[in-house]
């Protein structure tokens, strides 16, 4: 089976593929036909992992690991959600399961295993903003000094279709809204308003879009 370690956070999902050395967020990629074995736990409060079209609910409990498995028989994107009230943004703790052919899954794996893309131009300016600010205290970008564990791993941020607990589509406009004031978009989220300038936001967007 494909083993995945699922971690519930207020309010996003972390997916760790230990055998493949991949860590991502809010978007769970699996090959069609494979048995997918999930070890689920929480770092804060009780959550519940649920993909209605693929598997039943399983509690996600701090200090305890639960298990569930599923098998996607058809390609497609399956919506998942937290089904245990876990605070202000419980309704916005969503995720997507992307079931794809084995070849497509292998291509995704190879992309995720690649190092973070090198930055140049405006993207390099954004990298400088990220690496010299508060961002590195919470986020990881593999191969850089950003090794925070509080927020989602951003190494391949641009490869994901959504962010902020799958609440927002991953578009430059939505990323700009989020960076300008996360609390206005998702009140209660752990990411504070860093009071970034418009130039800093634009540079960070260029850098994040570079992280394919």
Reported confidence tier of residue 135, pLDDT bands at 50, 70, 90:
very high
Phi, psi at 87, each rounded to 5°: 125, -170
Query: Is the Cα torsion angle 189, 12, 44, 147 positive or negative in sign?
Result: negative
pLDDT of residue 51: 98
pLDDT in tens, 1-57: 999 999 999 999 999 999 999 999 999 999 999 999 999 999 999 999 999 999 999
Q: How many angstroms separate the CA atoms of 79 and 64, rounded?
A: 25
Task: Note the pLDDT tens digit of each residue in 78-133.
Answer: 999 999 999 999 999 999 999 999 999 999 999 999 999 899 999 999 999 999 99
Look at residue 141 in the predicted model and tell me its pLDDT: 96
Residue 175 confidence (pLDDT):
98
The token duo for 151 is: 């927020």
Q: Which of 164, 166, 127, 126 is nearest to 146 (CA)?
A: 127
What is the per-residue pLDDT for 88?
96
Q: Are 154 and 22 in contact (CB under 8 A)?
A: no
- Predicted confidence at residue 146, as pLDDT, reads 95
- Under the banding of pLDDT at 50, 70 and 90, the label for residue 71 is very high
> In the structure, what pLDDT confidence band is assigned to residue 164 with cuts at 50, 70 and 90?
very high
Question: Residue 140 — pLDDT band, cuts 50, 70, 90?
Answer: very high
What tokens appear for 58 in the block?
């399983």
The pLDDT value given to residue 208 = 97
For 54, half-sphere exposure in the C-beta direction (CA atoms, 13 angstrom radius) is 31
Average pLDDT over every residue of 188-192 = 95
* 171 Cβ contact list (under 8 Å, min separation 6): none
- The model carries a pTM of 0.94
| The pLDDT of residue 144 | 94
Torsion angle, alpha carbons of 155, 157, 158, 162, to 10: 160
């Amino acid at each position: 089976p494909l083993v995945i370690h699922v971690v519930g956070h207020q309010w996003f999902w972390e997916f760790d593929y230990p055998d493949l050395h991949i860590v991502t967020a809010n978007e769970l990629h699996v090959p069609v036909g494979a048995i997918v074995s999930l070890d689920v736990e929480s770092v804060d409060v009780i959550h519940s992992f649920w993909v209605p079209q693929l598997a039943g609910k399983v509690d996600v409990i701090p200090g305890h690991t639960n298990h569930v498995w599923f098998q996607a028989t058809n390609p497609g994107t399956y919506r998942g959600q937290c089904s245990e009230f876990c605070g202000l943004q419980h309704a916005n703790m969503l995720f997507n399961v992307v079931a794809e052919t084995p070849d497509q899954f292998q291509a995704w794996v190879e992309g995720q295993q690649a190092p973070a893309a090198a930055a140049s131009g405006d993207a390099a300016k954004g990298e400088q903003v990220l690496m010299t600010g508060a961002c590195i205290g919470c986020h990881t970008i593999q191969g850089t000094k950003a090794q925070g564990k509080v927020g989602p791993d951003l190494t391949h941020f641009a490869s994901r279709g959504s962010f902020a607990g799958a609440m927002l589509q991953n578009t430059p406009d939505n990323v700009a809204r989020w960076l300008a004031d996360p609390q206005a978009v998702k009140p209660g989220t752990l990411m504070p308003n860093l009071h970034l300038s418009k130039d800093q936001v634009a540079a960070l967007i260029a850098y994040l879009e570079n992280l394919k």
